[in-house]
Amino acid sequence: MPSTDLHLDSDGTRDLTEEQISSDELVDGVLLNVYRDKVRTPDGESSVREWIDHPGASAIVPVFEDGSTILIRQFRYPARRTFLEVPAGKIDRPDEDPADVAARELEEETGWKADTFDHLASSYPCIGYSNEVIHFFLATGLTRGEQDLSDGEFVDVVQMPIEKAIRLAKNGELRDMKTVTALVYAAARLSED
């Protein structure tokens, strides 16, 4: 049975930090790397952690002056289904500003540009197996740009009232977690105004 006699942090909570002992790269992918690490647990024992190294991403909730927003419809191969999602994309370089990623992805995926990207929050969507962080933005001051999809990328742009998108997120009709999270963050920010 594991010991409950663990070191306490300065604030009086137990130190639950796990220390890496060794790491084996299982997959060196185009987007993701997968590792199997041996770790020392807080009780001094060892365990195995498999995890995905992800560069991070930005997700955007664009809001037009008339109160509408844009979502995209896109087929996602791992889930084998089409999802309605907020525009989003990965960070391409470690030093890339998440707001710059948001601006790039909004225009590439939807054909719209924004004057303002208001950072809503940053969250870890898959803490059990990935270090991915998604940075969420509210985009306003929208003007036409030029859609520029990557090879093999197919999306439909869907415009709807922001209230409808938030309702779809809250009642479980949207199944993509980053989209649900983005819309809940946006709803909270918009209710402050």
Same domain, residue pair 29 and 87: no
Residues 45 and 1: beta-carbon distance below 8 Å: no
Same domain, residue pair 6 and 79: no
Residues 45 and 125: beta-carbon distance below 8 Å: no
Same domain, residue pair 3 and 26: yes
First to last CA, the chain: 52
Same domain, residue pair 49 and 121: no
Burial of 174 (0-12, 13-18, 19+ CB in 10 A): buried
Q: Which of 127, 120, 129 is nearest to 60 (CA)?
A: 120
pLDDT digits (tens, 9 = 90+) for 9-54: 788 888 999 999 999 999 999 989 999 999 999 999 999 999 999 9
The C-alpha atoms of residue 154 and residue 72 are separated, in whole angstroms, by 10
Q: Give the dihedral of Cα atoms 55, 87, 126, 186; nearest 10 deg.
A: 120
Same domain, residue pair 108 and 157: yes
What confidence tier does 2 reach under pLDDT thresholds 50, 70, 90? low
DSSP three-state, residue 68 = strand
The backbone torsions φ and ψ at residue 53, rounded to the nearest 5 degrees and listed phi first, read -90, 115
Q: Which of the listed residues 53, 69, 94 is the one where a domain comes to its end?
A: 53
What pTM does this model have?
A: 0.91
Report the Cα 163 to chain-centroid distance in Å: 21
Domain boundaries, position 86 = 57-192
Residue 101 is predicted with a pLDDT of 98
Same domain, residue pair 108 and 174: yes
Same domain, residue pair 91 and 77: yes
Same domain, residue pair 79 and 29: no
Q: How many domains does the chain have?
A: 2
